[in-house]
Amino acid sequence: MIQVYNSLTRKKEPFVPINPHHINMYVCGMTVYDYCHIGHARSLVAFDMINRYFRHRGFNMKFVRNITDIDDKIIARANERGITIQELTAEFIDKMNEDCEALNILKPDQEPRATEHIAGMLEMIGKLIEKGLAYPAENGDVYYRVREFKEYGKLSNQSIDELRSGERVAVDQFKEDPLDFVLWKHAKEGEPYWDSPFGKGRPGWHIECSVMSAEELGTHFDIHGGGMDLKFPHHECEIAQSEGCHDHPMANYWMHNGFINIDNEKMSKSLGNFFTIREILEIYPAEVLRFFILNAHYRSHINYSDETITQAGNGLRRLYTALSQAPETIPTLPESHPLMDKFYAAMDDDFNSPLAISILYEAATAYNKTGEAIYYTLLKELGGVLGLLQQAPEAFLQGDSNDLGIDIDAMILARNEARANKEWAESDRIRDELTALGIALEDKDGKTTWRKIS
C-alpha cells in the first residue's frame, strides 16, 4: 500500500482514495506575470512525479493545476509594460507551457483559470456571508471572519492566538480583526473589475483555489498539493473557506514540496541568486534539472549550485551510457523482478525518488556487468515512471556539439583512417584532441561512437 505524508496530520498514512482506483488531485499552479523560476520547477517536477507514479500503479487520475490570471502583481506588470492583462497572461502562460514541455511535465487533465470561475467565487462568498463567516466592509471589500472558523490554524499547527501575536498582519481599519483576510477586493480606479452583489471588484487570492478545486473535483477530494510556502496562509485560508462553506473536509491528504536554496541561501531577487527555469536551461540540459530535483525527496529542502547540478548531470550521463548499448532484443517489463520490487517499495514509501534512482543505478550496473537484456528494460521502463531516460541515448550523450566549432564525425573518420594505416601517433593525437574538448570515444564491434564527458 502506498504511504503518503499528510501535512494535515503531520505523519505518514496509508493512501486510501475516496473512490477505489480513482484519484482526484489539485495542485496550486502559477501566477502568470513573469517567467517560472527554479522553485516553480521543484513543485512542477515533484507533483508530476507523483501523478506519473499513481497512473503507473493503475489509478485513474484527474489532476488539476490552476492558473491565477488576475492578481495585484499581474495588474502592476501589465501597467508597467503598457499592455492589457490578457496580453500579459497569454504571454506567460505560453512561456510556462514551454518550460513544462522542456522538463517533461505531463499536461494536467484540467487547467482552470481564475477569471473563468468568478461566478462560483461570488456564490461561495455569498454563502459564507449567510453563515456569518464573512462580512462586507464599508470600503467595499468582503472579509472572512477567521475567529468564527474554530479550526483555523490546523494545517500549519498554530492556534489563532499564536497567529495573532506572531504574524505580521497588515493594518486595515475596515477589518473586524487583523487576522481576517479578503475574499473580494473593491475596484480601484483603472483596475479590472467584475460586477457583484458587493460592488465592482475582483476576487482575493485564496478564494480562487477553493472554488476552482470544488468546481473541477467536487467539494471533497483526495489530494491537495503545492509548495511548502503555500501551507500558510494560502492553504490554511482555503480550508477555512471550503470547510466553512460546505461543512465537511476539503481534502483528505495535504502534500507540500520543500524549497530550493541557492548556494545554501534562500532564493531571493534582492540577493541576486534568483534563477528562472529558462536561465538554467541555457547552461544545463532540461533533463539534468529534472534529475537533480528528483535526486532529493520531494519534502526535503535541496541546495542548487554549479557543483550539485553538475553531479546530477554526471549521474544521468552514467545511466544513459548504459542505455547506449541496446540489446538485439528488448524484453517487455516483467510482472515481477527483485529490482522492480525494490523500486516500488521506495516509491510506495511517500514517493522516495532518490532511493528509486539508486535502484536505476543498480540496474545500469547489472546491465553493464552481465549484458542481460532484462536490466536494460528495467532501467528504461522504471526511469520512464519518473519521467527520465526517454531520449535517444546518443542525443543526450552528445548534447549540443555545435558550440565546439569542430566536425566531430570528420575527426573520427580521420582517426579511423589513421588506425587503418597503423598511424598510431596520429590516431592518438586526434583522440587526445577530442578528449581535451570533453569528447569520449568508444570503439566496439568495428564502430566508433562518441559522447560528451563535460
Is pLDDT at 401 greater than 70 in this prediction?
no
pLDDT > 90 fraction of the chain, expressed in percent and rounded: 81
Residue 334 has φ and ψ, to the nearest 5°, of -70, 165
- Can you tell me the mean pLDDT for 317-334? 96
Is pLDDT at 404 greater than 70 in this prediction?
no
pTM of the model: 0.90
| Binding-site residue ranges for ATP | 269
* 271 vs 231, residue with greater confidence: 231
What is the structure's pLDDT at 300?
A: 97
Residue 211 has φ and ψ, to the nearest 5°, of -80, -45
What is the per-residue DSSP string for 20-79? Answer: TTEEEEEEEEEE-SS--BHHHHHHHHHHHHHHHHHHHTT-EEEEEEEEE---HHHHHHHH
- Can you tell me the mean pLDDT for 152-156? 97
**Cβ atoms 155, 7 nearer than 8 A:** yes
Quote the DSSP letter at residue 37. B
Start-end of H helices in 234-336:
236-246, 277-281, 286-294, 306-323
| Binding-site residue ranges | 28, 209, 234, 238, 269
Residue 16 has φ and ψ, to the nearest 5°, of -125, 105
| Binding-site residue ranges for Zn(2+) | 28, 209, 234, 238
> Which one, of 163, 145, 144, 143, lies nearest residue 153 by Cα?
163
What is the structure's pLDDT at 166?
A: 46
Q: Rounded to an integer, what distance in angstroms lies between the CA atom of residue 445 and that of residue 40? A: 45
Look over the chain and give the mean of its residue pLDDT values, rounded to a whole number.
93
Q: At residue 423, what is the residue type?
A: E
What is the structure's pLDDT at 309?
A: 96
Cell of 77: 506588470
For residue range 205-262, list pLDDT tens digits in order. Answer: 999 999 999 999 999 999 999 999 999 999 999 999 999 999 999 999 999 999 999 9
Is pLDDT at 280 greater than 90 in this prediction?
yes
Query: Domains, the chain, ranges and CATH?
Result: 16-260 (3.40.50.620), 326-397 (1.20.120.640), 400-452 (no CATH)
pLDDT tier at 386 (50, 70, 90 boundaries)?
very high
Is pLDDT at 421 greater than 70 in this prediction?
yes
What is the structure's pLDDT at 450?
A: 76
How many other C-beta atoms are found inside a 10 Å radius of the C-beta of residue 318? 14
Helix (H) or strand (E) run with residue 356 in it: helix 353-370
